[in-house]
Amino acid sequence: MVRRKLFVFIAVLFFAAARLSAATAAQKNVILVIGDGTGPAVMALLMQYAKLAPDSPYKDRLSNLEKIMGAGSLSFVFNTPVDTVAVDSAASGTQLAAGVKTYPTAVGVDAQGGPVETILEKAQKAGYGTGLITTVYLQDATPAVFAAHRQSRKYYHEIAVDMLKTKPDVMLGGGLNYYVSKNNLKDSKYHNIFEKVHYAAALDPQAKDDGLFEKVLKSGYQLVFDKKTLLNAKGPKLLGLFAPQALPFVIDRKPAYPLLKDMTQKALDILAKNKKGFFLMVEGGAIDWAAHSNDQGAMLKELLEFDDALAVVADFAAARPGTLVIITADHDTGGFGFNYRALSGAELEQKKQAGYPLYENTDYAAFQNLDKIAAQHRSFDAIIKDWEALPAKNKTAKTAQKMVKDALGVEVPEEAAPDIKAALAQATRMLGIVWATRQHTAEPVLAIFTGPAGGPYPVPAVMHSTQINKIMEEYLL
Ligand SMILES: [Zn+2]
């Protein structure tokens, strides 16, 4: 009797598993992962840190990015807009989302300013699940271009309205500011909601229309504001607004904020329930912001968070054969790189005595510099804010020197630290790092594709970013 029961139990399990795999085999999913500002040299920082840093946290010394790159196919991608060489996230994002060349600042519109249907909108029409995730705010260019159509990225309010209308199944990021007005905050009928928002005191209401928040509440979305409620959320429609604007940098972030991997896992859990499949865009948005601040420590932490999210994506794709994964950047920011520099005087002596590797008195940026970058525990933006709050008499070279030592562990000479910005720039040079600009460069980016079996996917070696859109559409639609 017991044996028979066991047999029935095993048979039920077997058929359940067979049905599940038939369902997942029929699903077609596209996961587009965008590292904003993550040019090849920025990707290389993550890969070199994993591989070469003496205290690398990666046991097998390979970042998830490198593992996926090794298994998949690689393309060299130009993101050139319609009539300029340099690009912004709006144009390059629109090119990925809609497959047409357009102009910088354009959100989901073509070169003439007319709306163009995006892959997210087409997928939604065809019955697929859809989702957008970012570590900055949802109305910022990269997420916006998939679900809004405006002639400029500056129309944040209108973009917020558009995105609510397009209504992807899952939207996770920052940007509550654009859905609430000053009157909403004062309105007692919403008090029980704002009570649950841990960052409510920092809200700076931007909604032009008092009724927009009511529309959010009636939109059918489950609304979450922090990591705990995100992890418990069930969907099927989920809107996570985790900050007034962008989420804080990982390096400065408190535990109430979810990580990119938490958001990615939740979105995948919800979207995987769609029998047809889904389109999901995941953005590491603050990699770009750290690069704009020429802050390598904050950038590396964002890259590590991005890499953790890649592990979630790769695990999902390995279990779901119908999944096309694309990892790319919309453009490079900062022109980051390592270089060498000749040393002299006290710094040379100090390094010699410490046994730091030098070749003909030249510092070629030793592997331990990678650990030093990772040891930074406060963003440059936050350090500069602290400095600005000091009384004028305390803004001395000594203070700047100490603040940099405390946050970065780098000892800059007093004469190179007349103020905090100069001190941070000197510390950066001493780590062997150069930044070409605080803006974007026109350097082409890399795109990594893994196909249905998690292996290579046939793609051209060189392409324009609009072609990535065609590849995704051909696969899904
Ligand atoms: Zn940027």
Distance 288 CA to ligand 1 centre (A): 5
Residues 134 and 140: their CA atoms lie apart, in Å, by: 9
Q: Does domain 27-336+438-476 have CATH number 3.40.720.10?
A: yes
| DSSP SS3 for 440 | strand
Distance 298 CA to ligand 1 centre (A): 15
Distance 157 CA to ligand 1 centre (A): 20
pLDDT of the residue at 468: 98
Which backbone phi and psi does 235 adopt, to 5 degrees? 75, -150
Domain spans in the chain, listed from the N-terminal domain onward:
27-336+438-476, 338-435
| DSSP SS3 for 305 | helix
Distance 333 CA to ligand 1 centre (A): 6
Residues 153 and 159: their CA atoms lie apart, in Å, by: 8
Distance 99 CA to ligand 1 centre (A): 20
pLDDT of the residue at 25: 64
At what angle are helices 296-319 and 380-388 packed, to 10 degrees? 140
Distance 178 CA to ligand 1 centre (A): 20
Which one, of 327, 311, 450, lies nearest residue 77 by Cα? 327
Q: What is the pTM of this model?
A: 0.94
The Cβ of residue 351 has, within 10 Å, a number of other Cβ atoms equal to 17
Among candidate residues 89, 92, 293, 465, the one labeled active-site is 89
pLDDT of the residue at 453: 74
Question: Parallel, antiparallel, or unpaired: how do β-strands 222-224 and 238-241 relate?
Answer: parallel
3-state helix, strand, coil in the chain (%, to 5): 45, 15, 35
| DSSP SS3 for 58 | coil
Residues 6+ apart with CB under 8 A from 207: 157, 160, 177, 178, 179, 180, 181, 184, 213
pLDDT of the residue at 454: 82
Residues 6+ apart with CB under 8 A from 360: none
* pLDDT, tens digit only, all 477 positions of the chain: 445 555 554 554 444 444 445 556 689 999 999 999 999 999 999 999 999 999 999 999 999 999 999 999 999 999 999 999 999 999 999 999 999 999 999 999 999 999 999 999 999 999 999 999 999 999 999 999 999 999 999 999 999 999 999 999 999 999 999 999 999 999 999 999 999 999 999 999 999 999 999 999 999 999 999 999 999 999 999 999 999 999 999 999 999 999 999 999 999 999 999 999 999 999 999 999 999 999 999 999 999 999 999 999 999 999 999 999 999 999 999 999 999 999 999 889 999 999 999 999 999 999 999 999 999 999 999 999 999 999 999 999 999 999 999 999 999 999 999 999 999 999 999 999 999 999 999 999 999 999 987 899 999 999 999 999 999 999 999
Residues 317 and 272: their CA atoms lie apart, in Å, by: 11
Residues 60 and 45: their CA atoms lie apart, in Å, by: 17
Distances (CA, A) of 41 to 7, 187, 387, 434: 57, 49, 30, 11
The residue type of 436 is A
Question: Parallel, antiparallel, or unpaired: how do β-strands 28-35 and 129-137 relate?
Answer: unpaired
Is 89 among the catalytic positions?
yes
Distance 72 CA to ligand 1 centre (A): 27
